[in-house]
Structure 1
Amino acid sequence: MPSFLAHDGTELAYHVTGTGEPLVCVPGGPGRASRYLGDLGGLPRRLIRLDGRGTGDSATPADPGTYRWDRLAEDVEALREHLGLDRMDLLAHSAGANVAVRYAGLRPARLRSLCLVAPSPVAVGLTPTEEDWQAGLELRAHEPWYAAALAEFLADEGVERHRFFYGPWTERAAAHSAGAEEECGEAAADGFYAPSPVTPEEVRAGLAALDAPALLLTGDLDVHPCRLHARPFAALFRDATLVTLPGAGHFPWVDDLGAFVSAVSGFLDELAGRDGLTRRA
């Protein structure tokens, strides 16, 4: 398993799948190992999936304070240095979006593009409310499984509650959800949203100065309030494309891999053409 040393000496692992131009991927959770990203529905890129500290094949840090979302941005920079990339395309999912936008503000010259999938907007001050979550749950109120899944969701246990995070409950969705608990590092999850001195205003200012184009992609059935905050989130960028996939939930590459791959590849291919690059399939 390839690995590198973070700036504090913690050994971090990453996984490489596919071929073509590299796309560095930051998982969400928070604190979830990158395995759940898989090949992102067969996205035709060389995916470089980072296992965050204390998750997957990465080591546990000596300082638990380094689990915090803003400090994890330095691990992304250490990976970029290790890979020898002058500029990179960066994709982040869910809670990982907080890490990615902090990185974008700190090192805007190192980004060629930014893809945020079902992005958590906490770092920019768009904090989801209980009412936001309730609205997401009620999207599925007509489903025959709603009552049983809602009871499990509120109790935070059971298999049925995972249905809220997917569009159609297919065999693929059920298999994907099965690894949710075992893929999470408890300390990494607990430390991710620890109080930070970095303010939303500081993160927003970094995004306002970012020249790299951004894609924000959500599913219209996502229980997570990221779908409600996607438009104001996108407005914080100079150059942002907002895509909502119908019938998709929090893991759109699982629900509709064709639409997901088309949206992300289209965004990246357009950028590659603009830069005079040829994507290697």
Structure 2
Amino acid sequence: MHIKANGLRLSVTDEGRGGPALVFLHYWGGSSKTWREVIERLRGSHRCIAYDHRGWGDSEAAPTPEGYHIRRLADDCEAVIGALGLDDYVLVGHSMGGKTAQLVASRRPAGLRALVLVAPAPATPTGVPAEARRSMTHLYESSAGVEQAIGVLAGRPLSAEQRSRVMEDSLRGAPPARAGWTEVAMLDDVSADLQNIHVPTLVIVGEADHVEPVDILQREVVARIQGARMEVLPATGHLPMLESPDALVKHIRRFVDEEHRKD
């Protein structure tokens, strides 16, 4: 289905039942399909909602990179939550979606129960040099570029189906959305907002993640969010939902169940 959010039509999937609902936010280059293995394991006990960020998957694109500031992505997330009438939910954000989820949580929206950050991009501006960011922007213009990206992102071999899915998602991204992350949202500094996050927060990171390494996420994410804790997935890179879905689901389920029992 599609939901109108801030002037754009966003593609949304809504599966399963049970609370709290889980709202999944994907990475730069992905789509709601990135979460397929995770949702298949969780939809029997939780309502699982995943949407394509503006310019990715089947969602409409903003026309220029300036339309992709992290605040715009956070506004979209809140619009989806509002359109679905969610009043008891957990945000699960990965990489770019993790930076977005941090900002949404800092706004203290009604109904937010907890926050799960999977290899999240920090709220601070990236330290990646401008030339490297420009190179990143062009990676998703060709199959060879996507293959190169997979080599950096994945710490374990992906199945043929997974590689095909990553390839399709990455190549489908609208040019403004590709540049919107590397030229705009990566540079947004929303770190001051993190002091306003007052929900239980779990950060999950791959031991072999070279994009968002454990030590950086400990310093830039865990240390900035009150009460946040970290779980490290062994022999896993930047795509835990593809590389280690069972381990990822175990941590999500345990964390969400713990918070649910506290009520």
TM normalised by structure 1 equals 0.76
Q: By how many angstroms is 1:95 displaced?
A: 1.2
- The letter of the residue matching 1:124 is T
Partner of 2:7: 9
Aligned mate of 2:150, from 152, 162, 165: 162
**Judging changes above 3 Å, is the alpha-carbon distance between structure 1 residues 129 and 5 closer, same or farther for their aligned structure 2 residues?**
closer
Alpha-carbon displacement from aligned partner over 1:176-200 (angstroms, at most 9, x marks no partner): 544353243321121235447x963
1:1-281 matches, cutoff 5 A? 2-6=1-5, 8-21=6-19, 22-29=21-28, 32-40=30-38, 42-44=40-42, 45-61=46-62, 65-121=66-122, 123-125=123-125, 127-129=126-128, 157=145, 159=147, 162-171=150-159, 174-195=163-184, 200=189, 203-232=190-219, 233-275=221-263
Rg larger in structure: 1
Q: By how many angstroms is 1:263 displaced?
A: 0.8
Alpha-carbon displacement from aligned partner over 1:130-164 (angstroms, at most 9, x marks no partner): 7xx9xxxxxxxxxxxxxxxxxxxxxx736365233
- The letter of the residue matching 1:192 is W
Indicate the structure with greater helix content.
Answer: 2
Select between 243-252 and 156-165 the one with higher mean Cα deviation.
156-165
Indicate conservation of the 8 Å contact 2:114/2:200, yes or no.
yes
**Judging changes above 3 Å, is the alpha-carbon distance between structure 1 residues 183 and 113 closer, same or farther for their aligned structure 2 residues?**
farther
* In 1: Cα distance, 2:188 partner to 2:55 partner: 25
* In 1: Cα distance, 2:115 partner to 2:58 partner: 25
TM normalised by structure 2 equals 0.81
* In 2: Cα distance, 1:221 partner to 1:239 partner: 25
Alpha-carbon displacement from aligned partner over 1:80-118 (angstroms, at most 9, x marks no partner): 111111242111111112211121222354421111111
Partner of 2:138: none
**Judging changes above 3 Å, is the alpha-carbon distance between structure 1 residues 161 and 14 closer, same or farther for their aligned structure 2 residues?**
closer
Indicate conservation of the 8 Å contact 1:41/1:260, yes or no.
no
Partner of 1:144: none
**Judging changes above 3 Å, is the alpha-carbon distance between structure 1 residues 13 and 206 closer, same or farther for their aligned structure 2 residues?**
same
* In 1: Cα distance, 2:211 partner to 2:119 partner: 8
Structure 1: 5+ residue stretches without partners: 134-155, 276-281
What's the RMSD between the two structures over aligned residues? 2.7
Structure 2: 5+ residue stretches without partners: 133-143
Indicate conservation of the 8 Å contact 2:14/2:50, yes or no.
yes
Of all paired residues, the percent bearing the same amino acid is 29
**Judging changes above 3 Å, is the alpha-carbon distance between structure 1 residues 87 and 206 closer, same or farther for their aligned structure 2 residues?**
farther
* In 2: Cα distance, 1:107 partner to 1:246 partner: 32
